[in-house]
Amino acid sequence: MECPQPQHKEADMPQPKLVSYFAGGPLPLHRALDRPYTHLILAYLTSNEQSPFTLALSADLAAQATPPRFDAEINRAVRRLQQQGVKVMVSFGGPAMTTSAYRQLAGQESYLAYILAQFVVANELDGIDIHWEDAAAFIGQGGYDGVEFLTQLTRALRRELPGDRYLIAHSPQPPYLQEGYAMSGYLKVLQAAGSAIDLVTIQFYNNRPWSGDPLRIVESYQRYCQLPGMNTDKAILGLPIARHNALSTSFIPLDAIVRRIIGPLTRCGGLGGLMGWEFSGDHDGQWSHSIGEALAQALANQPRER
Protein backbone atom coordinates (compact mmCIF):
# COMPACT_ATOMS: atom_id res chain seq x y z
CA MET A 1 0.00 0.00 0.00
CA GLU A 2 1.33 3.41 -0.97
CA CYS A 3 1.18 5.77 1.99
CA PRO A 4 0.46 9.49 1.51
CA GLN A 5 2.56 12.03 3.35
CA PRO A 6 1.44 12.75 6.95
CA GLN A 7 -0.81 15.80 7.09
CA HIS A 8 0.08 16.92 10.61
CA LYS A 9 2.96 17.64 12.85
CA GLU A 10 3.03 15.96 16.24
CA ALA A 11 1.76 19.00 18.12
CA ASP A 12 -1.47 19.29 16.15
CA MET A 13 -2.32 15.63 15.41
CA PRO A 14 -6.11 15.46 15.92
CA GLN A 15 -7.88 12.85 17.99
CA PRO A 16 -9.72 10.41 15.68
CA LYS A 17 -13.49 10.73 16.01
CA LEU A 18 -15.90 7.97 16.96
CA VAL A 19 -19.34 8.70 15.56
CA SER A 20 -22.67 6.91 15.64
CA TYR A 21 -26.23 7.52 14.51
CA PHE A 22 -29.04 7.15 17.02
CA ALA A 23 -32.27 6.11 15.29
CA GLY A 24 -34.19 4.73 18.25
CA GLY A 25 -34.41 1.04 19.02
CA PRO A 26 -34.01 -0.93 22.24
CA LEU A 27 -30.83 0.84 23.42
CA PRO A 28 -31.68 4.24 24.95
CA LEU A 29 -29.53 7.25 24.12
CA HIS A 30 -28.34 7.73 27.68
CA ARG A 31 -26.36 4.47 27.38
CA ALA A 32 -23.91 6.45 25.26
CA LEU A 33 -22.74 8.07 28.49
CA ASP A 34 -20.57 5.03 29.26
CA ARG A 35 -19.25 4.65 25.71
CA PRO A 36 -16.36 6.55 24.08
CA TYR A 37 -18.29 8.25 21.27
CA THR A 38 -17.16 11.75 20.37
CA HIS A 39 -20.14 12.56 18.12
CA LEU A 40 -23.73 11.29 18.07
CA ILE A 41 -26.18 12.08 15.27
CA LEU A 42 -29.92 11.88 15.91
CA ALA A 43 -31.81 10.45 12.91
CA TYR A 44 -33.92 11.86 11.29
CA LEU A 45 -35.56 15.16 10.52
CA THR A 46 -37.56 14.84 7.29
CA SER A 47 -40.19 16.56 5.18
CA ASN A 48 -42.52 15.40 2.40
CA GLU A 49 -43.75 16.62 -0.96
CA GLN A 50 -47.15 17.68 0.39
CA SER A 51 -45.57 20.05 2.91
CA PRO A 52 -41.87 20.36 2.06
CA PHE A 53 -41.04 23.07 4.61
CA THR A 54 -42.82 21.38 7.50
CA LEU A 55 -40.16 19.43 9.36
CA ALA A 56 -41.04 16.12 10.98
CA LEU A 57 -39.05 14.20 13.57
CA SER A 58 -38.69 10.43 13.60
CA ALA A 59 -41.20 8.82 15.97
CA ASP A 60 -38.37 7.13 17.88
CA LEU A 61 -37.05 10.57 18.88
CA ALA A 62 -40.18 12.62 19.19
CA ALA A 63 -42.60 13.70 21.85
CA GLN A 64 -44.26 15.38 18.87
CA ALA A 65 -43.39 14.70 15.24
CA THR A 66 -44.70 17.98 13.78
CA PRO A 67 -43.76 20.60 14.77
CA PRO A 68 -40.74 18.54 15.75
CA ARG A 69 -40.02 18.20 19.46
CA PHE A 70 -37.71 15.71 21.17
CA ASP A 71 -39.12 13.65 23.98
CA ALA A 72 -37.95 14.44 27.50
CA GLU A 73 -35.68 11.41 27.78
CA ILE A 74 -33.83 12.34 24.58
CA ASN A 75 -33.44 15.92 25.78
CA ARG A 76 -32.01 14.83 29.13
CA ALA A 77 -29.57 12.45 27.45
CA VAL A 78 -28.44 15.14 24.98
CA ARG A 79 -27.66 17.61 27.76
CA ARG A 80 -25.71 15.01 29.76
CA LEU A 81 -23.74 13.90 26.72
CA GLN A 82 -22.84 17.49 25.89
CA GLN A 83 -21.67 17.99 29.47
CA GLN A 84 -19.24 15.12 28.85
CA GLY A 85 -17.95 16.85 25.72
CA VAL A 86 -19.85 14.75 23.16
CA LYS A 87 -21.06 16.65 20.10
CA VAL A 88 -24.74 15.90 19.44
CA MET A 89 -26.16 16.70 16.02
CA VAL A 90 -29.36 16.04 14.09
CA SER A 91 -29.59 14.46 10.64
CA PHE A 92 -31.85 15.75 7.88
CA GLY A 93 -32.88 13.34 5.14
CA GLY A 94 -32.37 9.60 5.26
CA PRO A 95 -34.13 6.81 3.35
CA ALA A 96 -37.65 8.14 3.99
CA MET A 97 -37.01 11.33 2.00
CA THR A 98 -38.29 11.05 -1.57
CA THR A 99 -37.18 12.57 -4.85
CA SER A 100 -40.49 14.44 -4.95
CA ALA A 101 -39.81 16.03 -1.57
CA TYR A 102 -36.31 17.12 -2.55
CA ARG A 103 -37.64 18.49 -5.85
CA GLN A 104 -39.98 20.77 -3.90
CA LEU A 105 -37.06 22.06 -1.81
CA ALA A 106 -34.66 22.66 -4.71
CA GLY A 107 -34.23 26.33 -5.47
CA GLN A 108 -35.24 27.32 -1.95
CA GLU A 109 -32.13 26.13 -0.14
CA SER A 110 -31.72 29.36 1.83
CA TYR A 111 -35.12 29.00 3.44
CA LEU A 112 -34.58 25.29 4.10
CA ALA A 113 -31.26 26.12 5.75
CA TYR A 114 -33.00 28.75 7.86
CA ILE A 115 -35.62 26.36 9.25
CA LEU A 116 -33.06 23.60 9.82
CA ALA A 117 -30.77 26.02 11.63
CA GLN A 118 -33.67 27.25 13.76
CA PHE A 119 -34.26 23.68 14.90
CA VAL A 120 -30.57 23.17 15.72
CA VAL A 121 -30.34 26.41 17.69
CA ALA A 122 -33.66 26.01 19.51
CA ASN A 123 -32.68 22.52 20.66
CA GLU A 124 -29.14 23.56 21.62
CA LEU A 125 -27.55 20.98 19.32
CA ASP A 126 -24.00 21.08 18.00
CA GLY A 127 -24.77 20.91 14.31
CA ILE A 128 -26.53 19.17 11.46
CA ASP A 129 -25.88 16.24 9.15
CA ILE A 130 -27.18 16.16 5.57
CA HIS A 131 -28.08 12.54 4.88
CA TRP A 132 -28.96 12.83 1.19
CA GLU A 133 -29.52 9.57 -0.71
CA ASP A 134 -31.34 10.72 -3.86
CA ALA A 135 -28.95 9.38 -6.51
CA ALA A 136 -31.47 10.04 -9.29
CA ALA A 137 -30.68 13.75 -9.01
CA PHE A 138 -27.01 13.06 -9.79
CA ILE A 139 -27.84 11.35 -13.07
CA GLY A 140 -30.45 13.72 -14.49
CA GLN A 141 -33.48 11.70 -13.39
CA GLY A 142 -34.65 13.58 -10.29
CA GLY A 143 -36.17 16.67 -11.83
CA TYR A 144 -33.63 18.86 -10.03
CA ASP A 145 -29.84 19.22 -9.89
CA GLY A 146 -28.50 17.31 -6.88
CA VAL A 147 -25.10 18.99 -7.03
CA GLU A 148 -26.62 22.47 -7.05
CA PHE A 149 -29.05 21.61 -4.27
CA LEU A 150 -26.39 20.19 -1.94
CA THR A 151 -23.91 22.97 -2.71
CA GLN A 152 -26.39 25.79 -2.08
CA LEU A 153 -27.85 24.11 1.02
CA THR A 154 -24.38 23.63 2.52
CA ARG A 155 -23.36 27.23 1.90
CA ALA A 156 -26.65 28.52 3.31
CA LEU A 157 -26.34 26.33 6.40
CA ARG A 158 -22.87 27.71 7.05
CA ARG A 159 -24.23 31.23 6.89
CA GLU A 160 -26.89 30.30 9.43
CA LEU A 161 -24.65 28.15 11.63
CA PRO A 162 -21.22 29.76 12.13
CA GLY A 163 -18.27 27.42 12.04
CA ASP A 164 -16.89 28.53 15.40
CA ARG A 165 -19.95 27.06 17.12
CA TYR A 166 -21.68 24.54 14.86
CA LEU A 167 -20.71 21.49 12.79
CA ILE A 168 -21.98 20.59 9.33
CA ALA A 169 -21.71 16.97 8.20
CA HIS A 170 -22.54 15.10 5.01
CA SER A 171 -22.99 11.34 4.66
CA PRO A 172 -22.31 10.25 1.07
CA GLN A 173 -22.17 6.70 -0.20
CA PRO A 174 -18.95 5.65 -1.98
CA PRO A 175 -20.40 5.83 -5.53
CA TYR A 176 -21.05 9.53 -4.93
CA LEU A 177 -17.30 10.05 -4.42
CA GLN A 178 -15.91 7.65 -7.00
CA GLU A 179 -14.33 9.26 -10.06
CA GLY A 180 -15.73 7.78 -13.25
CA TYR A 181 -19.07 6.76 -11.73
CA ALA A 182 -22.22 8.29 -13.20
CA MET A 183 -23.52 9.30 -9.77
CA SER A 184 -20.27 10.88 -8.50
CA GLY A 185 -21.86 14.28 -7.92
CA TYR A 186 -20.30 14.71 -4.49
CA LEU A 187 -16.97 15.37 -6.20
CA LYS A 188 -18.41 18.67 -7.40
CA VAL A 189 -20.19 19.36 -4.10
CA LEU A 190 -16.95 18.99 -2.15
CA GLN A 191 -15.00 21.09 -4.60
CA ALA A 192 -17.57 23.89 -4.41
CA ALA A 193 -18.58 23.74 -0.73
CA GLY A 194 -16.08 21.47 1.02
CA SER A 195 -14.67 24.35 3.07
CA ALA A 196 -18.07 24.63 4.79
CA ILE A 197 -18.21 20.91 5.69
CA ASP A 198 -16.66 19.67 8.93
CA LEU A 199 -17.36 15.93 8.71
CA VAL A 200 -17.95 13.54 5.83
CA THR A 201 -19.19 10.17 7.09
CA ILE A 202 -18.78 7.74 4.19
CA GLN A 203 -21.20 4.81 4.13
CA PHE A 204 -18.96 1.83 3.31
CA TYR A 205 -21.85 -0.62 3.69
CA ASN A 206 -24.83 -1.70 1.60
CA ASN A 207 -22.76 -0.56 -1.37
CA ARG A 208 -21.09 -3.16 -3.56
CA PRO A 209 -18.25 -3.61 -4.36
CA TRP A 210 -17.12 -1.92 -1.11
CA SER A 211 -19.37 -3.88 1.27
CA GLY A 212 -17.36 -6.20 3.48
CA ASP A 213 -14.10 -5.67 1.58
CA PRO A 214 -11.46 -4.13 3.88
CA LEU A 215 -8.82 -3.70 1.18
CA ARG A 216 -11.16 -1.85 -1.18
CA ILE A 217 -12.46 0.25 1.70
CA VAL A 218 -8.95 1.27 2.76
CA GLU A 219 -7.84 2.10 -0.78
CA SER A 220 -10.99 4.09 -1.51
CA TYR A 221 -10.86 5.97 1.79
CA GLN A 222 -7.30 7.06 1.10
CA ARG A 223 -8.25 8.21 -2.38
CA TYR A 224 -11.28 10.15 -1.15
CA CYS A 225 -9.16 11.97 1.43
CA GLN A 226 -7.13 13.46 -1.42
CA LEU A 227 -10.15 14.92 -3.23
CA PRO A 228 -10.56 18.70 -3.52
CA GLY A 229 -12.53 19.92 -0.51
CA MET A 230 -11.64 16.83 1.54
CA ASN A 231 -8.94 15.90 4.01
CA THR A 232 -8.25 13.10 6.45
CA ASP A 233 -9.50 15.04 9.49
CA LYS A 234 -13.04 15.35 8.14
CA ALA A 235 -13.26 11.92 6.45
CA ILE A 236 -15.06 9.44 8.73
CA LEU A 237 -15.15 5.80 7.66
CA GLY A 238 -18.63 4.32 8.18
CA LEU A 239 -19.27 0.64 8.95
CA PRO A 240 -22.16 -1.36 10.44
CA ILE A 241 -21.88 -2.08 14.15
CA ALA A 242 -23.80 -5.36 14.13
CA ARG A 243 -24.88 -7.84 11.48
CA HIS A 244 -28.50 -6.71 11.69
CA ASN A 245 -27.55 -3.05 11.07
CA ALA A 246 -26.88 -3.64 7.36
CA LEU A 247 -26.93 -6.30 4.67
CA SER A 248 -25.08 -9.40 5.84
CA THR A 249 -22.41 -8.96 3.16
CA SER A 250 -21.51 -5.56 4.65
CA PHE A 251 -20.59 -6.78 8.13
CA ILE A 252 -16.91 -6.81 9.11
CA PRO A 253 -15.98 -8.38 12.48
CA LEU A 254 -14.30 -6.21 15.10
CA ASP A 255 -10.89 -7.86 14.88
CA ALA A 256 -10.86 -7.40 11.10
CA ILE A 257 -11.77 -3.72 11.42
CA VAL A 258 -8.85 -3.22 13.79
CA ARG A 259 -6.29 -5.28 11.85
CA ARG A 260 -7.32 -4.67 8.26
CA ILE A 261 -8.76 -1.13 8.30
CA ILE A 262 -7.61 0.89 11.32
CA GLY A 263 -4.12 -0.63 11.30
CA PRO A 264 -3.23 -0.02 7.63
CA LEU A 265 -4.73 3.46 7.56
CA THR A 266 -3.01 4.68 10.69
CA ARG A 267 0.31 3.18 9.65
CA CYS A 268 -0.05 5.36 6.58
CA GLY A 269 -0.72 8.41 8.75
CA GLY A 270 -4.36 9.05 8.06
CA LEU A 271 -7.68 8.16 9.65
CA GLY A 272 -10.13 10.85 10.70
CA GLY A 273 -12.27 8.39 12.62
CA LEU A 274 -14.95 5.74 12.37
CA MET A 275 -18.73 5.89 12.25
CA GLY A 276 -20.84 2.99 13.45
CA TRP A 277 -24.29 2.44 11.97
CA GLU A 278 -26.18 2.40 14.16
CA PHE A 279 -26.13 2.97 17.90
CA SER A 280 -28.64 0.28 18.88
CA GLY A 281 -26.25 -2.38 17.57
CA ASP A 282 -23.70 -1.46 20.26
CA HIS A 283 -25.86 -3.08 22.93
CA ASP A 284 -23.04 -4.14 25.27
CA GLY A 285 -20.54 -1.40 24.34
CA GLN A 286 -18.00 -3.89 23.02
CA TRP A 287 -17.89 -2.36 19.53
CA SER A 288 -17.40 1.24 20.64
CA HIS A 289 -14.91 0.42 23.40
CA SER A 290 -12.83 -1.82 21.12
CA ILE A 291 -12.83 0.72 18.29
CA GLY A 292 -12.16 3.57 20.70
CA GLU A 293 -9.15 1.75 22.15
CA ALA A 294 -7.84 0.93 18.67
CA LEU A 295 -8.17 4.55 17.56
CA ALA A 296 -6.40 5.80 20.70
CA GLN A 297 -3.57 3.33 20.17
CA ALA A 298 -3.39 4.26 16.52
CA LEU A 299 -3.06 7.93 17.43
CA ALA A 300 -0.13 7.14 19.70
CA ASN A 301 1.58 5.18 16.93
CA GLN A 302 0.85 7.41 13.93
CA PRO A 303 3.82 8.67 11.91
CA ARG A 304 4.36 12.40 12.36
CA GLU A 305 6.34 15.13 10.74
CA ARG A 306 8.77 16.75 13.15
Distance CA 75, CA 77 (A): 5
Q: Is the pLDDT of residue 303 over 60?
A: no
pLDDT in tens, 250-267: 999 999 999 999 999 998
Q: Residues 174, 203: contact at Cβ < 8 Å?
A: yes
The strand pairing partners of 140, in sequence order, are: none
Q: Is the pLDDT of residue 164 over 80?
A: yes
Q: Residues 229, 190: contact at Cβ < 8 Å?
A: yes
Q: Residues 44, 65: contact at Cβ < 8 Å?
A: no
pLDDT in tens, 199-210: 999 999 999 999
Closest CA to 225 of 202, 208, 252: 202
Which residues of the chain form beta strands (DSSP E)?
17-22, 39-48, 51-57, 62-64, 69-70, 87-93, 127-131, 167-170, 199-203, 235-240, 273-277
Domains and their CATH numbers in the chain: 10-301 (3.20.20.80)
Predicted TM-score (pTM) of this structure: 0.94
